[in-house]
Structures are given as structure tokens and as C-alpha cells.
Amino acid sequence: MPIKHLAIILDGNRRWAKKRGLPTLEGHRRGYDNVKTIGLAALDRGIGHLTVFAFSTENWKRSSEEVGYLMDLLYHALTAELGFYMENNVRLKVVGLREGLSEKLVSAIDEAEHVTSGNARGQLNLCINYGGRAEIVAAVRQLVADGVKSEDVTEELIASKTWMAGIPDPDLIIRTSGEQRVSGFLTWSGVYSELMFVDTYWPAFNESNLDAAIAAYENRERRFGK
């Protein structure tokens, strides 16, 4: 079964930089550059959706300098880099809480999603200020606000209110850097995803690593509980 939707937990930027005697912030910059590289490689391999864990709801606990840099990097990606996504016919979608983000960044998100909405080659879903439990809570709150009765709640109805609504469930979730946990990533939509943990730090994850992951996935049998 081919991969239609690949999701990646971008882990190891800071450790990659430290190992090379570089500033932590440089690790994040190289990590973003690699999102573009691997994103294009995924498109070339027929993967229409790439979802990346760019900033979690827990990442606010990091230093103010690092958080500020990450916010600036995300703003840069959504503004100065728009030409890259238009040129490659890629649609952008940002998934996560808007609360806590600056008005400037929220405006950039809205504009980037609007400008790229007609692009059809593939879609990059950026999980920013995202947490899997927060996503489910938000969906349930929306159902309550809509006046849905408890006896009418179904899995399909909850799924329709999640931030990932309308996006195919991920076939494969990769976490780089060797850590073996999903850290609240795609808690709802990733329930039947295949999981793969790769020792390589994200900035060093290359097309060979991608091809190896795809090959390993293709050798697995997905049963979906059957």
C-alpha cells in the first residue's frame, strides 16, 4: 500500500548543532531547510501529504530566546518563503492553537493558507502550537458549542471537528533522533499509523533515509485491528 500521507516528528535539531559546535538556533534553521528538501523528495515519490511537528504546546517551556527564534523562523517560512511553495505547487496548512501566537504570525498563517489554497501538487501541514490532547479537547468543545447531544456523538463527528479534518490519516509517522515516543503527535488521526524511529538527527535525515523508511513501510502488513 503506497504512502499517501507521511508525518514526521522533527527531532534532534539542537543535538545536531551541539555535536558540530554550532549554536542551537542554527540547528533549527538547518532543520527548516531540510523540511523543504525532504518535502520535495516526498512529492517526487508520490506522497501527497507531509505533516511535520514544528512546534508543540510544550515547546513554550524552552528559553525565550529559542522560542522567539522559532517563531521568527516560522514567520519567515510563511512569508518570505511563499514563493518556494507557489513555485512547487504546494498548499500550506497550519494545524494547532492560534491562542498564544502573535497577531503578526496569525495574520501570516491566514495569508499563506489563502495564497497557496489553489496549489494541487501536494500539501504541507505545519503543526504549530500543536498538542494531540489539545486537538481532541478543541473538537469536543466545538461539538458542545454546536449543541450536539451526547448520544449523537460518533467517531466520525469528532474527526470532523479536529484540526486535521479533511486530511487523510497518516500512513506512517517517523520520529528522528532515536527517541521512541510520539509526544502527543496526531493522537487522534495517527491511531493506526505505522511508527518508525530513526537514529538520525533531523537536519541529517536525507533522501536515502526517506527511501529506507518507505521500503520498510512497504514490507509491513497493515491490519487496522482486523
146 is catalytic: no
- Backbone dihedral angles phi then psi of residue 195, each to the nearest 5 degrees: -115, 140
Residue tagged active-site, from 13, 33, 59, 129: 59
The four Cα atoms 109, 113, 116, 118 give a dihedral, to 10 degrees, of: -170
- Reported as half-sphere exposure (CB side, CA atoms, 13 A), residue 155 has a value of 3
State whether the Cα torsion 108-109-110-111 is positive or negative. positive
Q: What's the chain's length in residues? A: 226
Residue tagged active-site, from 11, 13, 125, 129: 11
Using CA atoms, how far apart are residues 126 and 143, in angstroms rounded to an integer? 24
34 is catalytic: no
Active-site amino acid positions:
11, 59
